[in-house]
Amino acid sequence: MRLILKTAVFPLLLTVMSIGNLLAKEITLYASSSIPPYVISKTDNGIAVDVIRAAFAFKGYTVKFVVAPNRRVEKQLTERKVDGAYNMPQQKIPNLFYSQPVMYYDDIFVSLESSHIVINRVEDLAGKRIVAFQNAPKYIGKQFAEIAEKSSGYSEVGDQELQLRMLYSGDRTDVIVLDRNIFNYYFNQKKNPPYPPNSFVIHTIFPKVPIFAAFIDATVRDDFNEGLEAIRKTGQYKKIIDAYLDEN
């Protein structure tokens, strides 16, 4: 009897395992760049990476991330050689299915408290030495682009942690331009010595900008949206963000 039971159970286990393999859904997503704390390529994590993985896990997917230049990302999507991409302007590439906003970028101007600089509008930046993130005029808008073009004191850097160091030391800059979460991430990292708590002043002018994920398949997009809504409701979304922006 025991032999009969084992003989009957073994094919059943194989069937269950096969069904499980069929139900496991792995997708590959591209990210246009490694931008801590959103995408950290060295450790294969970050706010956006963890949020996207958590949302897809809710629907039974696993996600592999690939960081690549913008042109390669767009080419892979256009040729439908990848499942999707994060950090996409909505509707830039036709025939894709765009998600609900994954994140909101919040570009801010930051100055030293000791400089007593007042920035209430973009025009207040005229004559200031500005260090911005790469291609900032493309994202921030026409007024800022005009000031950047006319200013001899305007420069850009790829290392956004360097922006804080340059501002704090007074090295060729009066104002830096970067996303609020990126600023908080680097400000809160433990350093020796750390930045004093009230050393910087944040100037907010622009509204937040939604950032999307784009997919070649509508079902995958819908599953992602459902998972994203679920992790927002459970509080997991906020916990992921807080884990990167609390003092570290």
Backbone angles phi, psi at 87, to 5 degrees: 75, 45
Q: What is the pLDDT of residue 13?
A: 38
Residue 91 pLDDT > 90: no
Quick one: pLDDT at residue 70? 81
pLDDT at 248 over 90: no
Structural element, H or E, at residue 178? strand 175-179
Reported confidence tier of residue 88, pLDDT bands at 50, 70, 90 = confident
Whether the per-residue pLDDT at 6 is higher than 60: the answer is no
Q: What's the confidence (pLDDT) of residue 3?
A: 41
What pLDDT, on the 0 to 100 scale, is given for residue 8? 43
The closest of 159, 110, 109 to 133, measured between CA atoms, is: 159
Consecutive H or E run containing 214: strand 209-215
CA distance 196 to 27: 43
HEC sequence for 79-122: CCCCCEEEEECCCCCCCCEECCCCEEECEEEEEEHHHCCCCCCH
pLDDT digits (tens, 9 = 90+) for 32-82: 788 999 999 999 999 999 999 999 999 999 999 999 888 888 889 989 999
Residues 223-235, mean pLDDT to the nearest whole number: 98
29 pLDDT higher than 90: yes
Structure confidence by residue, pLDDT tens digits, 113-124:
999 999 999 999
What pLDDT does 138 receive? Answer: 84
CB 133 within 8 A of CB 108: no
Mean pLDDT of 25-29: 95
For residue 214, what pLDDT is reported?
94
- Three-state DSSP class for 187? helix
- Total-model pTM: 0.84
pLDDT at 17: 34
Rounded percentage of the chain residues whose pLDDT exceeds 70? 87
For tokens 């997708």, name the residue: 27
Say what the pLDDT of residue 216 is: 95
